[in-house]
Amino acid sequence: MAEVVNLRQFRKQRKREDRAMRSDENRALFGQAASVRKLRKADEERQARLHEAHRLDEQDGTD
């Protein structure tokens, strides 16, 4: 037979795990030095520009 589970406790445990995961992500993101954040943001912007530069021009189909 299946194990009996208290759904209220299960939901609370899942919520705690979600909060813990989110807090780990926030610690990694906001725990960085300002210079590292600035460098990461500049790199992301550069990657976005490079990606956009390789976009194909749209053609209207009236050749």
The pLDDT value given to residue 61: 59
The pLDDT value given to residue 63: 53
- Residue 60 pLDDT > 80: no
What is the model's pTM? 0.45
Domain boundaries, the chain: 8-53
- Residue 50 pLDDT > 70: yes
Question: From the centroid of its chain, how far is CA 58?
Answer: 30
Residues 12 and 20: their CA atoms lie apart, in Å, by: 12
Q: Rounded mean pLDDT of 35-59?
A: 90
The pLDDT value given to residue 59: 66
| 26 three-state secondary structure | helix
27: nearest Cα among 17, 19, 35: 19
